[in-house]
């Protein structure tokens, strides 16, 4: 794995202890990210995307726990070994911020939009005077009508407008990385595109790096330049978006891409992914894979490097270089 001075996630494993069993939600995840990049994280529900995001944000709460061998380095800071109070003071919002799912209603309906900005600034010791101008600038950046929206209550806004307020809010303290978790899911397609264009614009104008988590492959394809494909808590493929879309190597990436009409054109080609639970033994995808081999049922594949692509599949064991 290449190293990076910006973000480096090493051996990240996160589990939830439920009754007497441990659900391994994220398993030995390794990846790096460069400054200015938009990194897409794609995978179906339950693949561990949100858990991975929460680990970077130090937001894993019991019954969840991070394996002590995990390491997350951000610009030279070892995030998991920082004191929680230091993390909140030095990293959260200032270096790394977060945009939650559109369906989560994260804004407080009893507070005007502008007060959300004051509240966030206040908790970081920034005064009301300093923040007003910045809030106006950011609301304009996300193409909201400042006069109307700043004094509105969240319940008076549409879903797409609320999501743009959250994006503006995430930029308040000028972070270098924003983690967006299903930030446009549940919005209609036209609103999705409008917001994705705003996010691209922010990335270009401000140079903010973005981890964009989604279960919708067309969304990941549109927004990101590089992509991690997750299945059952693991990264199964990693590479440049256009290369994965053109020639997916992992059978799961291939199935995901073939399951939507937008990418491969005609509806005749659309094929739902075979159902099934991840296998406990061997490759987790062996129960659903149309290229399954004997070895896949007994051994767990490592990540093989195929040119500049990483792929966790025995099909590439001999082709790896
Ligand atoms: N608080 C929790 N307690 C117990 N198990 C959890 C908890 N949160 C997540 N999990 C489990 O961890 C696994 C990964 O879930 P996670 O939410 O990270 O996946 P995801 O890919 O983000 O899916 P989704 O988009 O549906 O949230 C799942 O098996 C899920 O049931």
What pLDDT digit, counting tens, does each position of 189-240 carry? 888 999 999 999 999 999 999 999 999 999 999 999 999 999 999 999 999 9
Instruction: Inform me whether the pLDDT recorded for 164 exceeds 80.
Output: yes
Alpha carbon nearest to ligand 1 atom 13, residue: 25
| Residue 44 CA, ligand 1 centroid: distance in Å | 11
For 238, other C-beta atoms within 10 Å of its C-beta total 25
Instruction: Give every CB contact of residue 205 below 8 A, 6+ residues apart in sequence.
Output: 141
Measuring CA to CA, how many Å separate 90 from each of 4, 170, 180? 20, 15, 20
Which segment, 93-107, 115-129, 155-169, 258-272, is predicted with the most confidence on average? 155-169
| Residue 46 CA, ligand 1 centroid: distance in Å | 5
| Residue 278 CA, ligand 1 centroid: distance in Å | 14
Which residues have C-beta atoms less than 6 Å from ligand 1?
Answer: 16, 18, 23, 25, 43, 45-51, 63-64, 215
| Residue 100 CA, ligand 1 centroid: distance in Å | 15
pLDDT reported for residue 105: 79
Helices (H), the chain: 49-56, 84-86, 113-122, 128-141, 146-149, 159-170, 189-206, 217-223, 241-246, 251-258, 261-264, 294-298
**DSSP 3-state of 238:** strand
- The average confidence (pLDDT) of the chain is 92
- Tens of pLDDT, residue by residue over 166-193, are 999 999 999 999 999 999 988 888 889 9
Does the ipTM surpass 0.90?
yes
For 280, other C-beta atoms within 10 Å of its C-beta total 8
Alpha carbon nearest to ligand 1 atom 6, residue: 16
Instruction: Inform me whether the pLDDT recorded for 286 exceeds 90.
Output: yes
Alpha carbon nearest to ligand 1 atom 3, residue: 16
β-strand pairing of 209-214 with 177-181 = parallel
Alpha carbon nearest to ligand 1 atom 11, residue: 25
Angle, vertex CA 270, rays to CA 265 and CA 273, nearest 5: 140
Q: Please report which confidence band the pLDDT of residue 267 belongs to, taking 50, 70 and 90 as the band edges.
A: low
Report how far residue 3's alpha carbon sits from residue 42's, in angstroms, rounded to the nearest whole number: 22
- Tens of pLDDT, residue by residue over 239-259, are 999 999 999 999 999 999 988
Instruction: Inform me whether the pLDDT recorded for 319 exceeds 80.
Output: no
Tokens, residue 200: 């691209």
pLDDT reported for residue 265: 57
Q: Where are the domains of the chain?
A: 7-232
Q: Smallest Cα–Cα separation from 19: which of 61, 63, 59?
A: 63
Alpha carbon nearest to ligand 1 atom 25, residue: 45
Q: Please report which confidence band the pLDDT of residue 127 belongs to, taking 50, 70 and 90 as the band edges.
A: confident
| Residue 14 CA, ligand 1 centroid: distance in Å | 10
Q: Which CATH superfamily is domain 7-232 in?
A: P-loop containing nucleotide triphosphate hydrolases (3.40.50.300)
Instruction: Give every CB contact of residue 304 below 8 A, 6+ residues apart in sequence.
Output: 310, 311, 312, 313, 316, 317, 319, 320
Choosing from 24, 26, 51 the residue with most ligand 1 atoms within 8 A of its CB, the one to mutate for a pocket test is 51
For 172, other C-beta atoms within 10 Å of its C-beta total 20
């Amino acid at each position: 794995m290449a190293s990076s001075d910006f973000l480096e996630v090493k051996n990240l494993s996160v589990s939830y202890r439920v009754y007497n069993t441990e659900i391994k939600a994220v398993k030995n995840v390794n990846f790096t990210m460069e400054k200015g990049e938009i990194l897409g994280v794609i995978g179906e529900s339950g693949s561990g995307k949100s858990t991975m995001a929460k680990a970077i944000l130090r937001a894993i709460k019991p019954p969840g726990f991070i394996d002590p061998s995990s390491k997350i380095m951000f610009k030279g800071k070892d995030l998991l070994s920082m004191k929680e109070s230091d993390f909140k003071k030095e990293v959260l919002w200032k270096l790394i911020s977060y945009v939650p799912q559109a369906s989560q209603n994260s804004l407080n309906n009893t507070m005007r939009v502008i007060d959300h900005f004051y509240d966030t600034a206040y908790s970081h010791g920034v005064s009301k005077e300093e923040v007003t101008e910045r809030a106006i600038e950011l609301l304009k950046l996300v193409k909201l009508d400042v006069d109307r929206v700043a004094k509105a209550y969240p319940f008076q806004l549409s879903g797409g407008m609320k999501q743009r307020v959250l994006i503006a809010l995430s930029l308040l303290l000028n972070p270098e990385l924003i983690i967006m978790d299903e930030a446009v899911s549940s919005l209609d397609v036209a609103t999705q595109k409008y917001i994705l264009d705003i996010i691209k614009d922010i990335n270009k104008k401000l140079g903010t790096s973005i981890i964009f988590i989604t279960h919708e492959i067309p969304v990941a394809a549109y927004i990101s330049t590089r992509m991690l494909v997750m299945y059952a808590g693991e990264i199964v493929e990693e590479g440049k978006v256009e290369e994965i879309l053109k020639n997916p190597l992992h059978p799961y990436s291939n199935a995901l891409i073939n399951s939507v009409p937008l990418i491969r054109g005609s509806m005749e080609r659309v094929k739902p992914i075979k159902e099934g639970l991840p296998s406990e033994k061997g490759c987790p995808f062996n129960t659903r894979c149309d290229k399954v081999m004997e070895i896949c049922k007994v051994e767990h594949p490592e990540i093989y490097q195929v040119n500049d692509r990483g792929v966790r599949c025995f099909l590439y064991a001999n082709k790896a270089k």
